[in-house]
Amino acid sequence: MQQYIARRGDTVSRIAARHGLTPEHVIQGNPWAGRQPYLYPGQILFLPSAPRRRYSVQEGDDAGLIAALFDVSIEELEMLNPGVTSGRCCIPGKVLVIPPAASRSVVSVRSEYGPEDVEQDIGKLVAKYPFVTRGSIGASVLGKPLHLLRIGSGPRHLHVNAALHANEWLTSPCLMSFIEQYAAAYDAGRDWHGHRPEEWHKHWTLWAVPMANPDGVELVQEGVLPGQPHYEELLQWNCGRRSFRHWKANIRGVDLGDQFPAHWEEEKARRGVPGPAPRDYSGPVPLSEPEAAALAELAEQYPGNAAVSLHSQGGEIYWNYRGYEPPESKGWAASLAAASGYRAVELSGSDAGYKDWFIQRFRKPGFTVELGIGKNPLPLADFEDMALETGLILGAILSNLK
């Protein structure tokens, strides 16, 4: 056992990932950590040694086959098992220690993916792929940057945002992962799941805001401590609950998914939420929140040919809005559904969303995509499937030149 003192921003999942453990390992050694919603700086945890994977050599195995099986390098395998590459220790029945697999991707999800992860991964992506450029469309209520990534040089513009709702933060690495895969395929001059990224790059410019509600995401993942702005108000708005896992709004209790000037008054009346809350409060006026206003300003500055707002969950694609959508929207939605296995849904009785405003304002195809199935926040185990589905949907749009 080793002793660990929790720091600001630590969670059970983050500590486990950092030490090669699972959250269950951490909770097993610290049962109280499974009963309180968040860790607090200064709390002491006792961590077990990281368990090692082991493998019994099979007939016909060699070091290369074993390394490929577990996605590790031969050098790492030899370091833990001297002689394995020479064959001396690679005989049937010999038990080998398997090193942890190192991610070859910049964007990976081993625990909660928050504002600092977005910041770090953006830095790595633009350093690795100089044709991906970064910027900012403003700042959140608490001053966190609203990062913007741009890839492509085409005359058609696609706007995509993720994590507009705080507890839907898993959509953020899904978008980041697609940008990385797009960039890697374009850089190598190869196809991506039957698509041609060089054609995407030639015909489209993709504007991506990977985490539109960073304050809310941090609140969901880390909770709130005394001294933080809005501490007392947040506890009051949350009905005294210490856990914010269910929270969708920004740090001022405004639901950014109901903030856009598309029949906003009707949505506010329908919701019937009079003031700040975990969800469904539309705010005092449309675009009162800096996060929503920044997204609208970006779309106004670079009017888009299409837009996507990534949410979770439901496995559905919403494509219409009060008849404002152009005729091609229904066909596009069908192609996105076919690519992803999701359902294209004609939605009614909902207003003031980003997709609603985009369709009404520009009369261009706009989509709300509900990634995954389950209860928010969705589990990390869903990330790989959701990231692929995100890419298949965005790839279908980028390959559509009609």
Residues annotated as part of the active site: 370
Angle between helices 383-398 and 171-188 (to 10 degrees): 60
Query: CA–CA separation, 387 vs 180, rounded Å?
Result: 11
Query: CA–CA separation, 311 vs 171, rounded Å?
Result: 6
Q: Quick check: 34 and 26 in contact, CB under 8 A?
A: no
SS3 79: helix
Q: Helices (DSSP H) in 189-287: which residue ranges? A: 197-203, 214-222, 231-237, 264-271
Task: Give me the phi and psi of 395, to 5 degrees please.
Answer: -65, -35
Reading the block at residue 396, the tokens are: 């279908």
SS3 139: strand
Query: CA–CA separation, 5 vs 343, rounded Å?
Result: 46
Q: Quick check: 117 and 108 in contact, CB under 8 A?
A: no
Name the nearest CA neighbour of 170 among 341, 384, 3, 402. 384
- Report the 3 state secondary structure along 33-74: HHCCCCCCCCCEEEECCCCCEEEECCCCCCHHHHHHHHCCCH
